[in-house]
Amino acid sequence: MNRSVWKGPFIEKLLLTKIIKFHNHKKKTISLRSRKSTILPSFVDRTFFVYTGNQWSTLNISDKMVGHKFGEFAMSRCRYVFKKKKKKK
């Protein structure tokens, strides 16, 4: 289900205060734990540290990421690797 248009995109309040605080500092990296927040056009060309549950993932926001969630680009699960079986002699 998509969010209602009249509500607008969801953004964590703490994230908004950090963006306002570091508005003039383009090189400042911002750390956040809210993976469910939506990426806005004002976040373009900024660097974010997103917490995935056990480590911090670095995200450089580009134009193509606008409208998506932070969690879509910070993977929280490992890729499964199949183990090779030893050949019998």
* Contact call for residues 39 and 68 (beta carbons, < 8 A): yes
* Arithmetic mean of pLDDT over the chain: 88
CA distance 10 to 3: 8
**pLDDT at 61 (0 to 100):** 93
Give 34-71 as a DSSP string.
-TTSBPPGGGTT-EEEEE-SSSEEEEE--GGGTTSBGG
The CATH superfamily of 1-89 is Ribosomal protein S19/S15 (3.30.860.10)
Residue 83: pLDDT band with limits 50, 70, 90: confident
Which one-letter DSSP state was computed for residue 25? -
pLDDT at position 27, please?
A: 66
pLDDT one-digit tens code per residue, 57-82: 999 999 999 999 999 999 888 888 88
pTM: 0.79
CB 40, CB 11: distance < 8 Å = yes
